[in-house]
Structure 1
Amino acid sequence: MSEPLINYLNVEIAQQDACLLRNVNMQVNAGDFLYIIGKVGTGKTSLLKTIYGELSIASGEAEVLGSNIKSIKRKNIPQLRRKLGIIFQDFQLLTDRTVNGNLEFVLRATGWKDKQEIKNRIDEVLEQVGMTNKEDRFPNELSGGEQQRIVIARAILNSPSIILADEPTGNLDAETGRKIVELLHNISRNGASVIMTTHNTQLVKEFPGLVFKCKNNELQDATHEFYNETRSLNKEEHEINESALETTYSQAEFVSEEEADNE
């Protein structure tokens, strides 16, 4: 079995001497789709920040793509980030550039030089996210869902092993958000690991994955608990529907018998 892409063991995350999360134990393998759920302020975003080196860990052991996150030098963080795709809730697209300009900027910044290769790669990712023929649009000419698709295209330009999506549906309507999560699931099926923070448990139910919950300053594995609870609810709803159906049949039979008596 191959080594996990992310391996956190007894990690504590703190900021300004305040503990945000403790006992963080998490492994992420190639192709995993992992949700991090929890209320606002429980540490979901802070956990993602430690993965891409924005926030240091206070204690424990943490490896991301072979790099020791606890001891990584600041000069080596850009190299790590080139192996990651990061999707922010507020898009962070360059407003003075077209879609093509935004994507070309990233490729050139990460060492791409050949114009035809750059064009081909941009065409590939735009097709993958369903945004062909949008390359000449500026961000303000796109809907929120379209902008998020461009952000995803930007994140997968360099074929990252890991995609970090911080509340990618937070600013979108329900149906558009659903399509974004479906797109991310399709990307994970091609081998990339996706870690997505969200408070939308309906999406977690519809598109199953591994589930971790930030609660009481701890990261708890909630996969079995979450889906067992979901199945129990579905079973209960089914039993209620069966009971209602039986009542309907009984009422119908009673009405038929009453009509027969009247005749």
Structure 2
Amino acid sequence: MEETLLISYKGVDINQQALGILNQVNFELHKGEFIYLIGKVGTGKSTFLKTIYGELDIAGGEATVLGYNMRTIKQKQIADLRRKLGIVFQDFQLLTDRSVYENLEFVLQATGWKNKTDIRNRIQEVLELVGMSNKGYKMPNELSGGEQQRIVIARAILNKPEIIIADEPTGNLDIETGNKIVELLHQICQQGSAIIMTTHNLSFLTEYPGKVYRCEQHKLQGVSDL
């Protein structure tokens, strides 16, 4: 059976503020794949990710994400698309005036969940999955960096997204904690979500293998050996 194609970019050009960032990008993501994006700062990794969730327009070529044509997508469709994606940033972006539980509850309510029992059960499920089942009552500032990132991952998987985008998710963490976060992302990937993760830590690539693409000299290319 053919793998489900979630993202397809063919000959895609990506600009930012009229500057050409990436040219002639060919990229595919299939269900259950784990893909690393590597490359120096400023080579276009985060810019590329922004085109996947509709924050940045495609300048040329053909691009589809979860069936949406990213050249012609409308604003309302972008909101629908983002509900099918999980996004993990390196700076957490948790609501600091709400508990962990309330942070997760807010996302579910904002995406259409209404039944309080369903909401409570789903929050408990994701907290258990990320190893934080006893932390729901805590405020974000009472958690370590690694614990906050686990909550961010829990938030990203609430709606069982087909794709998780993780932009330098270990950038603010120590090495040991970072390893645990990447291990967790791989476990989530094995349960069916495809994952695209940018990183500068090349040791992850050997310890937790995946497909690798490198941003370099305005190109995004698959890497067969490092």
TM (norm. structure 2) is 0.98
C-alpha displacement at 1:86, in angstroms? 0.3
What displacement does 1:80 show?
A: 0.3
1:85 alignment partner AA: G
Paired residues of 2:9 and 2:28 also in contact (CA < 8 A): yes
> What residue identity is the alignment partner of 1:32?
E
Q: Which moved more, 1:13-22 or 1:149-158?
A: 13-22
User: What is the RMSD of the two structures over their aligned residues, measured on CA atoms?
Assistant: 0.7
* Distance in 2 between residues matched to 1:48 and 1:192, nearest whole Å: 16
| Separation of aligned partners in 2, 1:187 and 1:10 | 30
Aligned to 1:24: 25
Aligned: 1:105 with 2:106: yes
1:73 counterpart = 2:74: yes
* Aligned-partner Cα distance in 2 for 1:75–1:187: 28
Give distance in 1, aligned partners of 2:75 and 2:172: 32
Tell me what 1:11 maps to: 12
SS at match of 2:104: helix
Task: Write out per-residue CA displacement over residues 32-83 of structure 1, whole angstroms, 9 at most, x where no aligned residue.
Answer: 0000000111000011100000001100100000000111011211100000
Q: Distance in 2 between matches of 1:131 and 1:84?
A: 22
**Residues 110-164 of structure 1: CA deviation (Å, up to 9, x unaligned):** 0000011000000000000000110000000000000000000000000000000
- Give the aligned residue type for 1:95: T
Q: List structure 1 segments (4+ residues) > 2 angstroms apart after TM superposition.
A: none
1:194 maps to 195
Structure with the greater alpha carbon radius of gyration? 1
| Alignment partner of 1:127 is 2:128 | yes
Residue 142, structure 1, aligned to residue 143, structure 2: yes
Long gaps (5+) in structure 2: none
Alignment of 1:40-119 (within 5 A): 40-119=41-120
Aligned to 1:171: 172
Q: Which residue identity is paired with 1:111? A: G
The CA deviation at 1:3 is 3.9
Query: Within 1, Cα distance between the matches of 2:199 and 2:109?
Result: 32
Kindly, what percent of the aligned residue pairs are identical? 63
- The one-letter code matched in structure 2 to 1:206 is E
> Does residue 211 of structure 1 match 2:212?
yes
Q: Is residue 4–residue 31 contact of structure 2 (8 Å, CA) maintained in 1?
A: no
In structure 2, what is the Cα distance between the partners aligned to 1:114 and 1:89?
A: 31
Query: Please, which runs of 5 or more residues in structure 1 have no aligned partner?
Result: 227-263
Q: Give the whole-Å Cα distance in 2 for the aligned partners of 1:11 and 1:216.
A: 15
C-alpha distance in structure 1 between counterparts of 2:225 and 2:68, whole Å: 32
* Letter paired with 1:61: E
How far 1:2 moved relative to its partner?
A: 4.2
Higher relative contact order (CA 8 A, sep 6+): 2
One-letter identity of the residue aligned with 1:225: D
Aligned partner of residue 42 in structure 2, secondary structure: coil
SS of 2:106 mapped into structure 1: helix
Higher helix share: 1
Structure 1 stretch 11-20 or stretch 159-168: which is displaced more? 11-20
The equivalent residue for 1:220 is 221
Decide whether the 8 Å contact of 2:30 with 2:194 is kept in 1: yes
Question: CA–CA distance in 2 between the matches of 1:28 and 1:221?
Answer: 12
Structure 2 residue aligned with 1:180: 181
Provide the C-alpha distance between the structure 1 equivalents of 2:200 and 2:115, rounded to a whole number of angstroms: 42
Distance in 2 (alpha carbons) for counterparts of 1:163 and 1:193:
6
Between the aligned partners of 1:137 and 1:32, the Cα distance in structure 2 is: 33
